[in-house]
Amino acid sequence: MRTFVAALLCSFALGAQAQWLDSTAAREFRDRVVQLALIYGDSSGIDLEGFKVAAREVRKVNASCSDVEVTTAQGEKMLRRETVRACRVH
C-alpha cells in the first residue's frame, strides 16, 4: 500500500511540475531569460516555483536571432533541455 501511495504522490507531483512548466507565467519567465542570453551570451534565474532556468546562446543565425539552449532544473535534477530559435525584442 505504501508503494502505491508513494507512486500516486510522485505522479501528482510530476503532473503539477509539468503544468507549471507549461504555464503562461513559466513561459514568460523563460522568454525573459532567453532575451537576456541573446544580449549577454548566457543568463539564468529562479522562477516563482523555484525552478532554475538557464539559457546560453549556441549559434548566431543573423544580427538579431540565435539558437539558444534552454535548460530547466529543480535542484540538481534536469527537467528539460531544449534548443530554441529566438530573436531580440527591440
Alpha carbon separation from 4 to 12, 15, 30 (Å, rounded): 12, 16, 34
- Please name the helix (run of DSSP H) or strand (run of DSSP E) that holds residue 16, with its range, or none: helix 2-21
- pLDDT tens-digit profile of 52-81? 999 999 999 999 999 999 999 999 999 999
Task: Output DSSP code: residue 63.
Answer: S
Domain count, the chain: 1
- pLDDT tens-digit profile of 27-43? 999 999 999 999 999 99
Domain extent for 75: 2-87
Provide the CA 79 distance to its chain's centre, in angstroms.
8
**Mean pLDDT lowest among 13-22, 31-40, 77-86:** 13-22
